[in-house]
Structure 1
Amino acid sequence: AYNLIRIKDGEEWKTAFRTRRGHYEYLVMPFGLTNAPATFQNMINDVLREFLDVFVVVYLDDILIFSKTMEEHKGHVHQVLTRLHQHELLVEPEKAKFHTQEVDFLGYTITPGEIRMEKSKVAAIREWPTPKNVKDVRAFLGFVNFYRRFLKGYSKTANPLTNLTVKEIEFAWNEPQEKAFRQIIDAVLSEPVLRMIDPEKPMEVETDASDFAIGGQLGQRDDQGRLHPVAFFSKKLHGPELNYQIHDKELMAIIEAFKEWRTYLSGARHEVKVYTDHKNLAHFTTNKDLNKRQIRWAEFLSEFNFTIIYRKGSENGRADILSRRSDHEQTTPPNNNAILASDKEGNLIPYHRTLAVTTRIKPAKPPKSTTELIEQVHGAKAHGHQGVAKTFARLRKHHDFKGTRQDVTAVIRNCNLCKKSKAERHRPYGELKALPVPTAAWESVSLDFITSLPPSKEPLTGTSYDNILVVVDRLTKYSYFLPYKATGTAEDLAYVFLRNIVGQHGLPKELVSDRDKLFTSNFWKSLIAQLGAKHKLSTAFHPQTDGQTERTNQTLEQYLRCYINYQQDDWVTLLPIAQFAYNSSPSESTKESPFYANYGYNPTAYAERREAPDTPKATNIAVNIRKIQEQIKLDLELVRTRMTTTI
């Protein structure tokens, strides 16, 4: 296949070679050039680019075409062959297979819903000779490692063999090694099977951690309830990870499993069940006492729909085996293990088969709190109240400092002497000029868009929206949250505004908005002028000029983040409830709810339950609305309080 690519004119001399028959240069790309594989892969990707991952997978000259039906497949094959013909690329009929449901691809045999080891590759292990030295052992393990994803308990079985590859252990082939060697061969010859992922079925994750590694399994159950493995993973721990508490190691196993299979687990149609043998993790999602690392992990996990279930270690065997891979275990010489085990700060490292300290020797001093030490070093006359970077570097170099850069930043920001003595690094603040207070309700309104949201359909019409138009009366704070399309024109905006605002409250005298293209369009300007209203635009590149609507947007976004589903496609149905909750909550500035300020009475959130026909679906909706309204009021009050303290 390489010979199908010509060498660039004038560059043939780079491929020159000499023989006894004379000097020769390649005119086409030969095998052996360093960049030949990348060049060929880039070429074939360009040729089939629009088909890649749609119905084609390509690795160098191996082209795999996949389809759901035979008729669809014939069309796909025709498109690929036509494209190859257009680029004068030839296909060997003897090496090609057409219209088949079983194919060998990159060492695997792929059939509908399943993946196996390729039989021709497996046959090579049947007569594999017994290893005679470490090099032979590594060759054998290298071959079976390619298929380890199929082998249950591989690490445990291969442990006697992997121990032979450690430099400090003398090679000796005895009964344990022979037994492991034969067990692995038998396991490969049994041709185990992995199932392909089915996004319509629930997924289960099993994880576990040991002192030196973490591991996990992704699986799905068939119609008879039997669990079938889909994928395995394991990872060796390094550096500070080795010093994590067992709780954090077990939690890290879940984090890495979700990262490994994020493509499958993010947006899963069903709740993902996560099984762990660490009982405390079952309450992780409701625990409020988290350290900084756990907070970061909790934020990452927030995008997934899952539940953590405790299961005894004896019942969590698959993941337990993966986390105890012998080739992940540390191989430090025995005489140093006790010393390294006592070093919890990570100051000692193995170095040329001896122990070395990673930092200079520091004088022993009575321990101080992190804050006291930072204040002492930062405020010393010899150090001159320097900035974060220099203070942090000095602490690391001359003191036994266990804090972080964030700790240093927090202390220096609160240093009164620095605030009084150091020059400002920003431009002077401008004079605050608040907009005049309207004299009547709906005399002045502000408008803004929340943009770039995931598409969401309106249940009755099926119309898909991706923006929200927020309209706020500047006196009463009464707000409208209206779904809108990013493709909407100024004419569409005018219709929405006239129908929902002017039709309900009359024509306002003044409109305040940012400089969105719809608000600055000639049509919108002309319409507002002819209606006799004034239009005030925010300062360029400073949308906070319209602070009222910006704060309302933040409150609405906070609400949507709390109650949107995992697919993020139901926010249109939440807008009416969000609008009611916002308007029925007391405003921090007016001390009254926008609803009361606008209509003169407080709305009824929900009445006492009356006897009604037993309709479970309607009951669930009503109960859900009541719960959401109660929680929203708490959330809105908290958000408004935070905004008031930060403005």
Structure 2
Amino acid sequence: MPFGLTNAPAVFQDMMNEIFQDLLDVYVIIYLDNILVFSSNEKDHKAHVQEVLKRLQDNDLFCNIKKCHFHLAYDTSAPLLLQPDTTRQFYVECDASDYATGAILSQRNSEGKLAPVAYLSKSLSPAKKNYNIFDKELLAVIRAFKEWRHLLEGSELPVQVLTDHKNLEYFSTSQSLNKRQIRWANFLVDYNFQIIYRPGAQNKKADILSRRYNLVPLEGGVENQVLLKPELFIASITLDQEINDLIGKAIYKDDCLKEILHKLQNKEKVLDWELREGLLWFQGKIFVPKDDTIRNLILESRHNALAAGHPGQARTLELVSRSYYWPSLKKFVNSYISHCETCIRSKPTNQLPVGLLKPLQIPERPWEDIAYDMIVGLPVSEGFDAILTVID
């Protein structure tokens, strides 16, 4: 039959089926001119191939050796992963590190040993890296149940969750849970599982998955990058030393401190006060004498410096009070910041614009509209120290 006719493929397929009728699906599969010969071992395969070639030869059909392929179709060694069997019990081995979680889904093989069904390893986002160790270990369990939900949900036998974090054993009975843990608990309600503690020495497989080399953050990466130049910090340290040198000289010029300094220099104990490193300390902080120049320098270093960024009154007070103290410190800080030109210019207003000025209504007769004010604080003159001004 010539090629190209509509019914040529069907006729050719019928002829091949008739030639190999007794071999079809035994060790031969045929589709048109494609013949597949399969065998369970090499000896049988040689015999099967010879039989196929003989029948082709008997019917004047020929094979193109260039189009023939001989290969081993399947691995003969035992597979590494087990095929999941939903009728048998599952085991989930979990662990977490500072930067990733790992889990292994396992079942017992014919020898009664745990054999892996699937593996899971996933890194932690920057936010999840801040979780405490309990939440990280619980997150490893949550991720495992989400990944293998199609196998674990509805399991008749309880899924054995193996973890090296002992506190997870009490998770299902805990009465105090945060919002995140409550959300996870609601997710786990659909599963039949039991959390079992296993020492870390026996949980090494899951531990390795949580510490994969390609999940370890690189040293010196973006997270460890210093955003401010080193010279800024050096300048800050130098400025503090200069300020402390000025304070060490100024304390001896303050008359209010003479008595305290005299006692301390004579090795007498004064409550809350001490003299060391050439500075006077009050309750563990450097006492700043009454010198507005020095106090302004301290405020400039904590408020105006590039690394400070003009913080508000509460933040500036907290920065200053870490190292220094003087009477009415809060009042001094608030006054300094309220007069800071940069803060005044940059501070946004929360008030509506005042709008355009409008002329006042013209009075129709005298004394209909008057304005008055008081000028006070004047030197006493003939027993009076104030002036009342009235404008009609």
TM range (shorter): 0.3 to 0.5
TM-score (norm 2): 0.40
- Larger relative contact order, structure 1 or 2 (CA cutoff 8 Å, min sep 6): 2
